[in-house]
A and B are shown apart, each in its own frame.
Chain A
Amino acid sequence: MNITIKTKLIIGFIFIAMIGVIIGYNAISNLKTINADSIKLYEKVTVPLTQIGRAETNFNKIRMKVRDTVLSYKDVNQTKTHIETIKKLEQSIFEDSEEFSKTILTKEGRQVYDNYMASFKNYMLSVNKITDLALASNGEEAYKMMTDASVAVATKTADDALKATVELKMKVGSGVADANAILAEKAITSMTVLTVISLVLSIFLGFFISGGINKILTHLVAECQRLTDCITSGKLGIRGNVEETNFEFQPITRGINEIMDALIKPLNVTAEYVDRISKGDIPAKITDAYKGDFNEIKNNINQCIDSIKLVIRDAGMLSAAAQNGDFKTRANEIQHNGDFRKVIIELNATVDAFVKPLTRSIDHLENLSNGIVEENISQEYKGEFNRLKISFNKCFNAINLLITDTKMLVQASLDGNLDKRADAGGHHGDYAKIINGINNTLDAVITPVKECAACLEEISRGNLDTEMQGDYKGDHAILKNALNSTVSSINEILGQVLTASEQVNSGSSQVADGSQSLSQAATEQASSLEEISASLQQINVQTKQNADSAIQANQLSSQMRNAAETGNKKMNQMLSAMNEINEAATSISKIIKAIDEIAFQTNLLALNAAVEAARAGKHGKGFTVVAEEVRNLAQRSAKAAKETAEMIESSIKKTEAGTSIAGETSKSLAEIVESVSKVTDIVGEIAAASKEQSQGIMQINAGISQIDHATQQNTATAEESAAAAEELSSQAVELKNMLSRFNLKNADYSHQSEKVFNAYMKKNKNGASVNPANRNKEKIALSA
């Protein structure tokens, strides 16, 4: 990640500032807590201690005043004053206690306070009694009362309770103070820890950030030092490495590189141009823009290039004029300076020495070319120019002989005597070749004409297997090729015609077959259509029967519904009857219970009678028997009652089962009624659907008769196309017979025709749709 030095420094300082904020916040919150606790200590402990202390003082004052009151019972006014003081003090104690009770914090404190208040009130009751006695001037009684043990106990209790309250408050106060001390200690500890942490973090951050910056700067200085060393030692190609430099200092490295580029480029260009000129490669002028001293170097090089180019141009001009036969052209030496001018003057003198003899030779050749053969040259020439004079004389003699022989051959040709030839022995070199050439020309003209005539004669006889075979050139080759290509074109055309006639023949027989099968299929289609028509008639009749049956079913289902509703009503009547039976059975079981009770009582009576009889001893014997009988009767009636009860119970159970069955039956009947309604609806829908079906069948019938008509038309068309195909086949055979008169060049054309035909057949097999016969067959199969 690339972070600038600025960002790094800002992040570091923000971090340190945040640590400062945390320390400050912690210190403030701790100080607030301690402050709050101090206020609490004052409000809840110090102030109440003052109030309860005042109450204690007032309590002691009351005790003194009571004593005073008792002592001064004889003076009524003084007694009254004392009593009033006591009342005021009591009032003051109550007020202070009330204030104090508002500051009680703990449950224990509340208990101690309540104890104090109770004992104080108890004490005040005693005080009131004493003061009343004193007011009634009953001093002795009052004194006795005051010194009474119970009063002393009450006094002591009140005093102790008051002291206990004070002590408890003191304890609470010291607890709060201790808590404050601990809190302060904690705050100091946490502040110290935070300060140390922040110190360590700040030092670490300082070292970290400064270390990073130092590393970047060291690297940059090292890079500059390396570049300086390279330039001093002439290594001008080296550049500073931009990528390895820290991103923030990359512009510095890049700038150094650009300065080096600007210095080194012109030096390189100058060295290159001088090198090229020394090797004879004259470069184009320097066009790049340079400034100051670089521009002067550029101008000098360009001037040097101009001078050399001018010399080269004039030498080239003279050479070109000589090559073009322009003998008058000379170079202009004034345009050149110094040694370059001397070179041009010498060049002009050389041209002058060659021009005079050449001009005379040109005159002679001009006369020759105009058909004027001159007398031999008699003038004297030196060196190579004398050789030129002898050659001209030889030339005039040879040309005269050549003209004589040529005139003789031309005259013979004009007379139609193409077999006449000249003697080449009297001529030398190429002139002998000219005479031989004329002879050969005559030979060459006559040979192809003769072969051409022979070929045409063969063709006229119907033999197309012929061609010109001689090796001819030029117009004769054109003639030979034209004849040969004509023959091969005729061969090809006739071969193709033959192939086509065979294809037409086989194609037409296929068409004939196809039409035959189409016709047959159409006939089958027609018979199938008749069967369909008959089937549709049957379906129509059955559909009508369906509709009738549906109407009948509808009536039957209505009847069924009425029957089910009646059944439901009867079922409900039965249910109510069964309920009545149930009620009756309940009444019966009550009666039976009464009978059972009576039987039990009778049994008890009989037992008592038996006991009584037994006690009666001898005299009760008869009574014993009677009692036994009564007991037996009672047991029998109990048994009978029990059996009856069981029967009734079972009958109740059965009735209940019957009721539930009847309920289910009633429900089933209701379901039957509902189902029958649905059946009625469905049957009605079936009847309507049957009517629609019948109409649909009529429409299908009409469609079928249309199809029948179309099928008959198909049959007729297929028969017509079969006849046409047979006619085509016979004409193709006739064409083939006509073509058999020609003897074609080679058997390839007939083979080729078979190949073409086979390819055509394969294609047709792949795409069944091309064969019309197949297509018709498939259509019939689909519609059947």
Chain B
Amino acid sequence: MVKSEENRAMYEAFDETEEDFENTQENKFLTFRLGKEEYGIEIKDVTEIIGIQNITEVPDMPEYVKGVINLRGKVIPVMDVRMRFKMQPFEYNDRTCIIVIDVEKKPVGLIVDYVSEVVDIPSQNVEPPPQVSKNSNNIFLKGIGKVGDSIKILLETEKILYAEFLEKVKEEIKL
């Protein structure tokens, strides 16, 4: 009880000082874990987080699209992010989560190992993705965020979703 009152006091103080800061969604990220690394996606793309559901397989789909789920009467496709990134597959358990994102009005579920938290990463703490050679350019990466001593790999949500887009980018690079 005492703690909640303190929090409320803090909140009120915060509220007063940052009153003119309009777009609060700007620098907020939802972080999740694949293996030992932490990744982040922008909070504006996130609709909700649910536990693992019964997945119905759909034929003739890319390997990383595991199928569709029924989320409160709405059918949405789910994608295994590990497989999307060509990482070692991971057996699902009752702690596996699905992050439901909404890009251009199309809801998609992202299967991840574990959902961590919602963090603020100010733009000055975000660095551009590292370039090893001239031609290589990792199209998934938005940047590298620093939170204290740890590092969050920040992802471009829409580029994860569309393989066609990926192919297109590849072609452009070649030309």
* The stretch of A77-85, A252-260, A412-420, A602-610 that contacts the partner chain: A602-610
* The stretch of B42-50, B137-145, B148-156, B163-171 that contacts the partner chain: B42-50
* B10–A625 CB distance below 8 A: yes
* A618–B51 CB distance below 8 A: no
* B7–A625 CB distance below 8 A: yes
The interface bits of chain B over 11-40 (1 if a CB of A lies within 8 angstroms of the residue's CB, else 0) are 100110011011111001010000000000
How many residues on the B side are at the interface (Cβ–Cβ under 8 A)? 30
How many residues on the A side are at the interface (Cβ–Cβ under 8 A)? 21
* A610–B117 CB distance below 8 A: yes
B58 within 8 A of A: no
| Alpha-carbon distance between A604 and B99 when the two chains are bound, in angstroms | 10
* A618–B21 CB distance below 8 A: yes
* A614–B28 CB distance below 8 A: yes
The interface bits of chain A over 585-621 (1 if a CB of B lies within 8 angstroms of the residue's CB, else 0) are 0000000000001001100100110110111011011
* A607–B49 CB distance below 8 A: yes
B76 within 8 A of A: no
Q: Which of A604, A618, A626 has the most CB of B within 10 A?
A: A618
**Closest CB-CB distance, B7 to chain A, in whole Å?**
4
* B95–A610 CB distance below 8 A: no
Checking A600, A604, A617, A624 against B25 with a beta-carbon cut-off of 8 angstroms, the contacting residue is A617
A629 within 8 A of B: yes
**Closest CB-CB distance, A635 to chain B, in whole Å?**
10
> Chain B at the A interface: mostly helix, strand, loop or mixed?
mixed
| Alpha-carbon distance between A631 and B7 when the two chains are bound, in angstroms | 14
B131 within 8 A of A: no
Checking A604, A617, A622, A631 against B50 with a beta-carbon cut-off of 8 angstroms, the contacting residue is A604
Which residues of chain B are within 8 angstroms of A617 by Cβ–Cβ distance? 22-25
* B3–A629 CB distance below 8 A: yes
Closest to B51 in A: A604
B97 within 8 A of A: yes
Closest to B42 in A: A614
| Alpha-carbon distance between A608 and B97 when the two chains are bound, in angstroms | 12
* B7–A629 CB distance below 8 A: yes
Checking A600, A604, A608, A618 against B18 with a beta-carbon cut-off of 8 angstroms, the contacting residue is A618
* A611–B48 CB distance below 8 A: yes
Closest to A607 in B: B49
**Closest CB-CB distance, A358 to chain B, in whole Å?**
173
Closest to A625 in B: B7
B91 within 8 A of A: no
Which residues of chain B are within 8 angstroms of A597 by Cβ–Cβ distance? 94
**Closest CB-CB distance, B84 to chain A, in whole Å?**
21
Known: A601-B51, A629-B4. A614 touches B97 (CB 8 A): no
* A615–B43 CB distance below 8 A: yes
Which residues of chain A are within 8 angstroms of B49 by Cβ–Cβ distance? 604, 607-608, 611
* A600–B23 CB distance below 8 A: no
**Closest CB-CB distance, A149 to chain B, in whole Å?**
46
- Chain A residues in contact with chain B, CB under 8 A? 597, 600-601, 604, 607-608, 610-611, 613-615, 617-618, 620-622, 624-626, 629, 631
20 pairs, A vs B, C-beta closer than 8 Å: A600-B95, A601-B51, A604-B115, A607-B115, A607-B117, A607-B118, A611-B30, A615-B43, A615-B46, A617-B24, A618-B19, A618-B24, A620-B24, A622-B8, A625-B10, A625-B11, A626-B7, A629-B3, A629-B4, A629-B7
